[in-house]
Chains A and B, each alone.
Chain A
Amino acid sequence: MTVTAPPARGAITAGEPIRLTSVNKTYTTATGPLPVLQDIDLHIETGEFVSLVGPSGCGKSTLLKIIAGLIPFDNGTVHVGEQAPKEGRRDVGFMLQQSVLMPWLSVRENVTLPFAIAREKGSHIAPRVEELLELVGLSHSADMNSWELSGGMQQRVALARTLALDPRVLLMDEPFAALDEFKREHLGLEVTKMHEDMGKTSILVTHSIPEAVMMSDRIIALGARPGRVVGDIRVDLPRPRSAAMIATPEFQDISRQVREALAGEDGSIS
């Protein structure tokens, strides 16, 4: 497969697998080489939801950006679907901690932006944008200025924009970290539900163990300096997930496993 055909309109597109083999990454700094990722082997199945957790400096954001094709890696191989990572792939959606909305565009125009950059035109776009706004619960705010929205609503717009081109792979770099606890849990559960409905392959970078457990099928614990896999924990909680599961012994047990994997790794983890 060389070119990914645009997905069928309105259809729910499933994910595609991600495979990393012996990936290394070293940054060159003023004080010498700084290894950030060491021999990362990671195989994520189609439709799987994987969280990357670990202390600051463990390279989890770097890893995500490598998969997004935003930064190069030194050696090893990376495949997203059947292709090497490359920026601008429409089958890969990337969501950041900051909503990064364009203040000169309305909420609706912000969600339409990916179509404009992809030079996609046609009558299917307008209904698709309305559908996305509906999905994130912002239909009534579509004509507002993006800077008039609260932080949580801005992040919902960013989510709709990330989903706009119906990517098969969803890469999220601490997307809820700037939100307050309540909004964070609420939006996390919504994204979990969307994942359960859509089956996109998803990678979430997060500092929060409960968030990782709630949302994921699998949690990869990364140790710091250099970043390497120190734990691979399966989350055998039934889906659909719900907030009530947090109190169950199973949830607590998985959280404990993640903490133990990260024990001894420097850094603050919540």
Chain B
Amino acid sequence: MTTIQTPPQPAVVRAETVPHTKPKDPLLSRTWVKVGLPLLVLALGVGAWEVASQTGLVNPITVPPASDTFAAMIDLSTKDYFWHAAWITLQETLLGFLIGSTLGLVLGALTGTFAVFRTALWPFIVAIQNTPRVALAPVFLTWFGFGMTSKVVMAAVICFFPVVINTVAGLSSVDANARMLFRTYGATTSQTFFRLTLPTAAPVTFAGIKTALTLALLGAIVGEFVGASEGLGVLVNEFNFQLEVAMGFAVVVYLAVIGLILYALIEWLERRLITWSN
């Protein structure tokens, strides 16, 4: 039997779920409180920002008030160049995500299934996982130019590894007793894979895919910062150079909206595909 390396732990801890501490105060379980309290925090934050900027507590040129940012958002939404840039960034993100996570699934499945791949590749996967891969953005720019390709590659590279690591972790999380049970039923290798290994791995693997989608947008924007002619990252850069900080803020808010929409979509897909908890 090949020595199995320390089983990789699920590398991704999802932070987006609010820790489920039982609310002691029954008031905190009311829907209007659950919705109202975060809204109140938002209002206070935006209000403080507005006041600080309007009263000159912070320089309104570098930190324009919230109202200006909001006006800039409305202004941007009427501009064709904004929608074009958003479309470019979205394409880079989704293409990079699809390529990166597909390759990640394939490599993760090989590494998680065959001990020879695990032994040969695991040290490199760990090494690359711990390398700040955004540092490769200038290299990709040199290799693939100012167009979309270098951003797609950046997005793919950055979201490749969480998928690999979580796929390996998922595949190695199959319970030894469950394997034994399948043996007592005389299950074939493919039956064990499709009826046991794959469904066991799916939730952990999908957590990696969710992270990958978030990272893909990050990769695309970093790629655009380093060198591009189109995209939302380019807009943020240009508005800042022109000291149109409110417009820059507005683009960032729209990026947050795009990120949230993508996240909501993948979350929806997860709920459709994985209806159980392990």
Q: Which A residues have a C-beta under 8 Å from some C-beta of B? A: 68, 70, 87-90, 92-94, 96, 98, 100, 102-104, 113-114, 116-118, 145, 147
Contacts and interface: CB of A to CB of B under 8 A. Distances in A.
A68 B181 CA distance: 11
B276 A98 contact: no
A145 B277 CA distance: 10
11 contacts: A87-B183, A88-B186, A88-B187, A96-B180, A98-B177, A102-B178, A102-B199, A103-B278, A117-B195, A147-B276, A147-B277
B181 A116 contact: no
B50 to A, nearest CB: 49
B186 A89 contact: yes
A128 to B, nearest CB: 16
Contacts of B187: 88, 117
B180 A117 contact: no
Contacts of B181: 94, 96, 100
B183 A103 contact: no
Q: For the complex of A and B, list the 8 residue pairs with the smallest distance between their C-beta atoms, beginning with the closest.
A: A88-B186, A94-B184, A103-B276, A117-B185, A104-B276, A104-B199, A87-B183, A117-B187
A145 B274 CA distance: 13
Contact of B195 (A70, A88, A116, A118): A116
B191 interface: yes
B275 interface: yes
Contacts of B202: 104
B185 A70 contact: no
B185 A114 contact: yes
Contact of A113 (B180, B195, B275): B195
B195 A96 contact: no
A6 B133 CA distance: 59
B271 to A, nearest CB: 14
A103 B187 CA distance: 18
B186 A70 contact: no
A108 to B, nearest CB: 15
Given A70-B183, A96-B181, 15 more contacts: A70-B180, A70-B184, A87-B186, A88-B185, A92-B184, A93-B184, A100-B175, A100-B181, A102-B199, A103-B276, A103-B277, A104-B199, A104-B202, A104-B274, A118-B186
Sort chain B's interface into a size bin: 20 to 34
Contact of A68 (B178, B184, B195, B196): B184
B182 interface: yes
Interface string B234-278: 000000000000000000000000000000000000000011111
Contact of B177 (A88, A96, A116): A96
A93 B199 CA distance: 24
Contacts of B199: 102, 104
Contacts of B183: 70, 87-88
A89 B196 CA distance: 19
Contacts of B180: 70, 96
Contacts of B175: 98, 100
Interface in B177-234: 177-178, 180-187, 191, 195-196, 199, 202
Contact of A117 (B178, B186, B274, B276): B186
B184 A145 contact: no
A268 B202 CA distance: 41
Contacts of A70: 180, 183-184
Nearest to B186: A88
B190 to A, nearest CB: 11
Contacts of A94: 181, 184
A117 B195 CA distance: 9
Nearest to A96: B177
A197 B35 CA distance: 59
B275 to A, nearest CB: 7
Contacts of B191: 117
B276 A145 contact: yes
B185 A118 contact: yes
A88 to B, nearest CB: 2
A38 B274 CA distance: 48
Nearest to A94: B184
Given A102-B199, A116-B195, A117-B195, A87 B184 contact: yes
Contacts of A96: 177, 180-181
A113 B192 CA distance: 12
Nearest to B178: A100
A90 B184 CA distance: 9
Contacts of B185: 88, 113-114, 117-118
A47 B143 CA distance: 75
Contacts of A92: 184
A212 to B, nearest CB: 23
- Most A C-beta atoms less than 10 A away, residue of B180, B185, B202: B185
Nearest to A88: B186
Contacts of A93: 184
Nearest to A115: B185
A194 to B, nearest CB: 19
- Most B C-beta atoms less than 10 A away, residue of A104, A114, A116, A145: A104
Contacts of B195: 102, 113, 116-117
